[in-house]
Chains A and B, each alone.
Chain A
Amino acid sequence: MSGEPRPGWKNLLQGTARVLRAPIYLLALVTITVMAVLPQFFGTQYFALSLVFATIYITLALAWDLSSGLTGYISFGLPFFFGLGAMATGYSYYHGVGGSFSLLAIDFGVGLLGGLLFALPTLRLRGPFFTLLSLLLPLIAASFVVAFWQVLHMPTIGYIGIPFLAPSPQAELPILSVTTAAVLTVSFLLRRSHFGLVLRAIRDDEDAVESKGIRTLPYKVAVFSFASGIAAFAGGTYAMTTSFGGIDSFDFQFLIYPMLIAIVGAAIVRGGLGGIVGSVFAGYAIILFSQYLTLPEFNLQELTLPIFAFVAILLVLFLPSALGRPSGPREAS
């Protein structure tokens, strides 16, 4: 693998560079950068922590949009892989794995493997099996933790005392912003690649894709496993932000917010689900607003989730474009 790049590599690099010059992508990247830098100079620690949560939710939304939005195979299992990552962080830490980045790498691997094991049998079948089983995953995982936390030698229904990713939210935010930007870049490139084109075609008409001699299963399994790895990675960062990896990570708030972010993001870029980039803008707006509502002067902390679930219902009802097919030119590089 030495010497001059082969023409294929040259084309790939040129194609990648061309895709990454897209204004909407650059704008998203600038937004992530500004949000990473802002709390270093202005605002309180709470503001920085809110932005940390925003980056975690944006990463989750990107993962959901990449798999469910692009393929049309709706997965409700996001909280399972998120929780799996959080639990894997605690388990690894308790069993002597040191170093935040090693823990996060393990989380990604566990999520990838978990996604593969789940997707391989369920995505073979047509019909609603995949979606329904994915919905059961977080429920079953929570039951499992409640039943077996003592057998697994957990101190409680989860792992406490997980080391923080950084000494302060201000220090943590740039790290998470870089990972969010990386996930955005990879997702954006995948969407615009031949791989992404096949995924969108699967969403449009899977039979037509198969009739062209393309086996759809590897594409679906690959994107779902990758997205599961990202979700588990996000779960690991959440555990290292709250210092706890436990049963609360399987809560459906880790589905509602990412879905809401992806749907609003789809409406912003007017491309339907699978548009990827819109999640960045929607994520900051929604999470900052939800954190704003929890301030003592509003005292709406317990109402935040019902409010946002209600908003999501309204969006699904009245924003037909948000759940529509991704539009725009078929940009295969």
Chain B
Amino acid sequence: MASVDSAIAIILVYGAVGGAIYALISLGFTLIFGVARLLNLVYGALYMVVGYTIYALAVQDGVSIYAAAAVAIAIAIGVGTVSFLLFVRRNPDPIRFMIGTLLIALFLQYYFSYAFQGEAGYIIPGLIPNTSILVMGVSISQLSLLAAGVSVIMVVTLYIWVERTGSGRVLRATASDPETAALFGISPGRVALLVIVLSSALIGLAAVLVVPTGEVTPTMWTGPFIIAFVVAIVGGLGKFLWTLPAAFLVSFSQVTAQYYIPYDVTDLVAFAVAIVFILTLPRGMGGIWEAHRVG
């Protein structure tokens, strides 16, 4: 095992970069639940859609990575929007939406498994070369750093938009009380649609930045789904402004455990964190903060 200093450096660097990336992955999921009160289970599958689209366009057909990424994000937005329109506009039943979106995610998993010959993993190119640099003496890929940087920018932009602009106020009003918002002429359906488009774009962007550091496989959607779900629980379901601190807490827990345990326990740690929060603090960090502020 490395020295204490290097252990701290490893945990700090990987925890911070991982936390920022987790925030980008989770932001859209918490946004949908916060505003539309819908659990969009196709969310993780959009990550996979982007991965396979980039592979098909950039690797198989030789299209430029930038064009492939743009098309992939557009397709992710299309799939997310169609899922929403199909299951919410026709019959706004949360159970139907949940079952329907899970089935779409599984359909996509099995379809990609069929179309791309099974479980084999594919490598896709990133927007920048996937080389590593040293940060505090710890080697980390430039792609991960780019993803972390973009994530922080997106979180800050979203925060300013939601807290400081008129359209952001509309979003908060709908999230807080859709019926009263409707009384004031706001269409909750349109706001929900906007949020679906936005969240699909966010997970698409996350995929463009993060997938090149790993492999494209038919089951790759489960990883971001687990992270998005756990971060949403830790931050407080619907408390989308708490995504960043929650993502950091999850990431640091995982990196610390992974450093000391010689097996891949990242998913198990994430699940354990979610269980602890559900049993002890079901309203999450955001709920605790609100209760403290009111009290």
Q: Which residue of A lies closest to B115 (CB)?
A: A306
Interchain CA distance A146-B271 in the complex, whole Å: 16
Known A74-B98, A132-B229; judge A143-B268 contact (CB<8 A): yes
Query: In the complex, which residues 183-224 of chain B have their Cβ closer than 8 Å to any Cβ of chain A?
Result: 222
Is chain A's interface secondary structure helix, strand, loop, or mixed overall? helix
A293 CB → nearest B CB, Å: 13
Q: Are B100 and A125 in contact (CB under 8 A)?
A: no
Interchain CA distance A147-B258 in the complex, whole Å: 12
Decide if A312 is an interface residue (CB 8 Å cutoff).
Answer: yes
Decide if A128 is an interface residue (CB 8 Å cutoff).
Answer: yes
Chain A residues with CB below 8 A from B161, complex form: none
Known A147-B268, A309-B106; judge A131-B100 contact (CB<8 A): no
Interchain CA distance A66-B268 in the complex, whole Å: 29
Decide if A98 is an interface residue (CB 8 Å cutoff).
Answer: no
Query: In the complex, which residues 74-118 of chain B have their Cβ closer than 8 Å to any Cβ of chain A?
Result: 86-87, 90-91, 93-96, 98-100, 102-104, 106-107, 109-111, 113-114
A150 CB → nearest B CB, Å: 9
Chain A residues with CB below 8 A from B59, complex form: none
State which of A167-175, A181-189, A275-283, A315-323 sits at the interface with chain B: A315-323
B175 CB → nearest A CB, Å: 16
A122 CB → nearest B CB, Å: 7
Decide if B41 is an interface residue (CB 8 Å cutoff).
Answer: yes
A74 CB → nearest B CB, Å: 6
Q: Are A305 and B110 in contact (CB under 8 A)?
A: yes
- Our pick among A125, A146, A303, A323 for the contact of B96 (Cβ within 8 Å) is A323
B259 CB → nearest A CB, Å: 15
Q: Which residue of B lies closest to A260 (CB)?
A: B103
Chain A residues with CB below 8 A from B106, complex form: 252, 255-256, 309
- Our pick among A131, A144, A302, A313 for the contact of B113 (Cβ within 8 Å) is A302
Interchain CA distance A100-B260 in the complex, whole Å: 41
- Our pick among B93, B264, B278 for the contact of A122 (Cβ within 8 Å) is B278
Q: Which residue of B lies closest to A130 (CB)?
A: B278
Interface range, A side: 35 or more
Decide if A127 is an interface residue (CB 8 Å cutoff).
Answer: yes
From A143, A146, A317, residue with most partner B Cβ within 10 Å: A143
Q: Which residue of B lies closest to A74 (CB)?
A: B95
Query: In the complex, which residues 134-188 of chain A have their Cβ closer than 8 Å to any Cβ of chain B?
Result: 135-136, 139-140, 143-144, 146-148, 151
B150 CB → nearest A CB, Å: 27
- Our pick among B93, B100, B267, B271 for the contact of A313 (Cβ within 8 Å) is B100
Chain A residues with CB below 8 A from B36, complex form: none
A70 CB → nearest B CB, Å: 14
Q: Are B114 and A306 in contact (CB under 8 A)?
A: yes
Query: In the complex, which residues 211-225 of chain A have their Cβ closer than 8 Å to any Cβ of chain B?
Result: none
Decide if B73 is an interface residue (CB 8 Å cutoff).
Answer: no
Decide if B171 is an interface residue (CB 8 Å cutoff).
Answer: no
Interchain CA distance A146-B119 in the complex, whole Å: 15
Chain B residues with CB below 8 A from A143, complex form: 264, 266-268
Chain A residues with CB below 8 A from B282, complex form: 125, 129
Decide if B155 is an interface residue (CB 8 Å cutoff).
Answer: no
Decide if B39 is an interface residue (CB 8 Å cutoff).
Answer: yes
A117 CB → nearest B CB, Å: 11
Q: Are B263 and A151 in contact (CB under 8 A)?
A: yes
Query: In the complex, which residues 252-269 of chain B have their Cβ closer than 8 Å to any Cβ of chain A?
Result: 263-268
Interchain CA distance A309-B109 in the complex, whole Å: 10
Q: Are B99 and A147 in contact (CB under 8 A)?
A: no
Query: In the complex, which residues 228-256 of chain A have their Cβ closer than 8 Å to any Cβ of chain B?
Result: 252, 255-256
Interchain CA distance A136-B91 in the complex, whole Å: 26
- Our pick among A72, A135, A139 for the contact of B102 (Cβ within 8 Å) is A135
Q: Are A136 and B226 in contact (CB under 8 A)?
A: yes
B241 CB → nearest A CB, Å: 19
Q: Are A259 and B226 in contact (CB under 8 A)?
A: no
From B87, B95, B103, B107, residue with most partner A Cβ within 10 Å: B103
Interchain CA distance A264-B114 in the complex, whole Å: 25
Q: Which residue of A lies closest to B264 (CB)?
A: A147
Q: Are B99 and A74 in contact (CB under 8 A)?
A: yes
Q: Are A128 and B271 in contact (CB under 8 A)?
A: no
Q: Are B278 and A76 in contact (CB under 8 A)?
A: no
Q: Could you list 25 examples of A-B contacts with CB < 8 Å?
A: A72-B95, A74-B95, A76-B102, A122-B278, A127-B237, A129-B233, A132-B229, A132-B233, A133-B274, A133-B275, A133-B278, A135-B41, A140-B271, A143-B264, A143-B267, A143-B268, A144-B268, A147-B265, A148-B263, A252-B109, A306-B114, A309-B103, A309-B107, A310-B107, A323-B99
- Which chain A residues have a beta carbon within 8 Å of chain B's beta carbons? 72, 74, 76, 121-122, 125, 127-129, 131-133, 135-136, 139-140, 143-144, 146-148, 151, 252, 255-256, 259, 302-303, 305-306, 309-310, 312-313, 316-317, 320, 323
The 7 closest A-B pairs by CB, nearest first: A309-B107, A143-B267, A305-B110, A306-B110, A147-B263, A306-B111, A140-B271
Name 17 extra pairs, CB < 8 A, besides A139-B225, A139-B226: A125-B278, A127-B237, A128-B39, A132-B39, A132-B233, A133-B278, A136-B226, A136-B274, A139-B222, A140-B268, A140-B271, A147-B264, A148-B263, A302-B113, A309-B110, A316-B87, A316-B96
- Which chain B residues have a beta carbon within 8 Å of chain A's beta carbons? 39, 41, 86-87, 90-91, 93-96, 98-100, 102-104, 106-107, 109-111, 113-114, 222, 225-226, 229, 233, 237, 263-268, 271, 274-275, 278-279, 282
